[in-house]
Amino acid sequence: MKILFVDDEKDVEALFRQKFRKEIKSGEIELAFAFSGKEALNVLGDENPPKFVYVFSDINMPGMSGLELLDQIKIRFPNIQVSMISAYGDSENYDRAMNSGAKGFFTKPVDFERLKKEIAEMVKNQ
């Protein structure tokens, strides 16, 4: 299962690769990273149809926000599940994300056990 992580902070790649080391090694999941909303749409658009099943995106990014990215993904790639992450657990971002079709909403620091459970459930249902 291919997962795309989108965050303007490049150091998240090393963190996520370390946290999902076992799942990557077993071939259960494949991770890709984009560092802006625009780059994420380019990555998703590289394959037709995209092989990605899940996108995990930060909300607060320069240029296209994660919420704008969510809207674009839901229009262009409606079968891809999207969860959002924010440093701020405010109800406005949560409501907008969930009303726009987000699968989940996480706050920083990421609860990796919860995220792993969500991903494991998606892998099982594939």
Could you report the per-residue pLDDT of 24-60, keeping only the tens digit for each? 999 999 999 999 999 999 999 988 888 999 999 999 9
Could you report the per-residue pLDDT of 62-114, keeping only the tens digit for each? 999 999 999 999 999 999 999 999 988 789 999 999 999 999 999 989 999 99
CA dihedral defined by 75, 53, 9, 15, rounded to 10 degrees?
Answer: 170
Q: Write down the pTM of the prediction.
A: 0.93
Looking from the CA of 58 toward its CB, the CA atoms found within 13 Å total 21
Phi, psi dihedral angles at 101 (to 5 degrees): 105, 15
Q: What is the pLDDT of residue 47?
A: 84
What are the C-alpha distances in Å from 110 to residues 15, 37, 47, 79, 89? 11, 20, 29, 24, 12
What the chain holds in terms of domains, given with CATH numbers, is 2-124 (3.40.50.2300)
Task: State the chain's maximal CA–CA distance in angstroms.
Answer: 38
Q: Which two tokens stand for residue 105?
A: 């909403």
The answer, yes or no, to whether residue 18 has pLDDT greater than 90, is: yes
